[in-house]
Amino acid sequence: MSMIAFIIPSVLFVIVIEILIANRLHKKVYHYKSTVVSLSIGAAERLLNVWIMGVYYFVFNFIYNNYALFQLSDVWYNWILLLLITDFIWYWYHRLGHEINILWAFHIVHHQSEDYNYATSTRITIFQAIIRNVFWCLLPLLGFQPAMVFIILLIHGTYSFLTHTEIIGKLGWMEYIFITPSHHRVHHASNEEYLDKNYGDIFIFWDVLFGTFKREGKKPTYGLAKPVESYSFLWQHFHYLMEIAYRFRRTHGFMNKMKVLFGKPNKMIGNEREELEKLWLSPKQIKENDSESEDVSKLRTKRYIRYLEIQLAMVLIGLFLISFFINAIEFSDAFFLTILILLTLMNCSALLEQRRWIFFLEYMRLIVLLLYISVSFHSFCLMFIYLLILGFTTDIYRTLRIKYFRTLFY
């Protein structure tokens, strides 16, 4: 597990390199808010994956030891066979993720960004990670040793990450064998001629074989055909599930309801999202003084960006530490750190959107932090004192809230 922690700085290093090269080529491939959201979603998946990684290994071992159809050794040709079968399974997992509504609800997050870069590649939710590991269970069932499976999955994931870039053009003969950045740009495009194409992860011949291959021609437009008009951490994760639930509730007849769950996403044509946005997305914070000077406005923006970046940096550091020391630290330490990181990720997206309710979230983080300190010192009396202090601050709550908004909201 400790070695997996180094995925985090490695990904950040590659992102920095991509930014430097893009700037050198005078290409704008990163946008600030989109990058923050992508890294936040990726950080949440990595964090929650820390807790369930052992479950994957246990399940793979259980299947291999009790139900394996064959016993495949680790000779070189079985490694090649494993790579081919892994990519074949990925093709169908990925294709079904685009063609079945309930699976698309978990995969859609990966396609929401209108940027296409290495930060976009990190947009994977824990739900998507769990579902694809269900598909990976076929590998130990066929008789591949779990250790071999995990190594191939690591290679598979690394290759997939590296195809998410605009700074690499077409790669000649490789385009006929492998999924290249050019091929995967097509997959992430919302242009009508590019929809539902190039599902492979390493090899392109699955798409050629099953009729889903498309070469890159016209410059892709990235993101969803119906863009998500919010940077909210929770909304990005759950909006499509809510749309399905809303449509399911309004649909009559068992078979029609099943079509809502298991039909194709392109059949979800309606006003569900607009109605849910009105119901669940609160109004953004309105600047109290529209006549303030440009210098004051710039100062607020700098403070807000600095505060946001400090929080995101602390999240990434905390994520690295919990990943590296997960087998050594106490359960309570890991649990409270996880809750604080998730609340901070929600806080970052609320800052991006200047939401009114963000001040309540700050209070929630403070309560969790104080509870953690109390548990660490085995003193609930201390926690009671903290809560009393917080209770007394309600008298100056409005003053603190206004001060907070004036300091950080632009």
Per-residue pLDDT of the chain (410 residues; tens, 9 = 90+): 567 788 899 999 999 999 999 999 999 999 999 999 999 999 999 999 988 888 999 999 999 999 999 999 999 999 999 999 999 999 999 999 999 999 999 999 999 999 999 999 999 999 999 999 999 999 999 999 999 999 999 999 999 999 999 999 999 999 999 999 999 999 999 999 999 999 999 999 999 999 999 999 999 999 998 888 888 888 999 999 999 999 999 889 999 999 999 999 887 777 888 888 888 876 654 444 444 455 545 656 778 888 889 999 999 999 999 988 888 888 888 888 999 999 999 988 888 887 777 878 888 888 888 888 877 777 667 667 766 666 666 656 667 667 777 666 65
Instruction: Give yes or no: residues 239 and 379 share one domain.
Output: no
Answer yes or no: do 80 and 160 share one domain. Answer: yes
Does a structural domain hold residue 53? yes
**79 and 151 co-located in one domain:** yes
Question: What pLDDT shows up at residue 225?
Answer: 85
289 found inside a domain: no
Do 301 and 170 have their domain in common?
A: no
Asked whether 332 and 375 are in contact (CB, 8 A), the reply is: yes
Q: Are residues 161 and 241 in the same domain?
A: no
The pLDDT value recorded for residue 392 is: 65
* Overall number of domains in the chain: 3
Domain assignment of residue 40, yes or no: yes
- Any domain includes 337: yes
Q: Tell whether 166 and 20 lie within a shared domain.
A: yes
Give every CB contact of residue 219 below 8 A, 6+ residues apart in sequence: none
Selection from 243, 248, 270, 272 nearest residue 260 by Cα: 248
The pLDDT of residue 77 is 96
Task: Indicate whether 356 and 400 sit together in one domain.
Answer: yes
- Give the span between the Cα atoms of 130 and 343, in whole angstroms: 22
Note down the domain range covering 353: 294-408
Compute φ and ψ for 68, nearest 5 degrees.
-60, 130
Residue at 220 is within a domain: no
User: Is there a single domain that holds both residue 249 and residue 317?
Assistant: no
Q: Are residues 53 and 109 in the same domain?
A: yes
390's enclosing H/E stretch is: helix 380-392
What's the pLDDT score for residue 271? 81
Measure the CA–CA gap between 264 and 133, rounded to whole angstroms.
Answer: 22
User: Is residue 339 located within the same domain as residue 388?
Assistant: yes
Exposure on the CB side of residue 57, measured as CA atoms within 13 A: 11
Q: Tokens in use for 195? A: 């929809």
In a domain, 193, yes or no: yes
Claim to verify: residue 318 and residue 357 sit in the same structural domain: yes
Which residues lie below 8 Å from residue 354, measured CB to CB, with a gap of 6+?
A: 284, 285, 409, 410
Contact 349, 232 (CB under 8 A): yes
Are residues 46 and 161 located together in one domain of the fold?
yes
Residue 219 belongs to a domain: no
Give the containing element (helix H, strand E) for 114: none
| Confidence (pTM) | 0.89
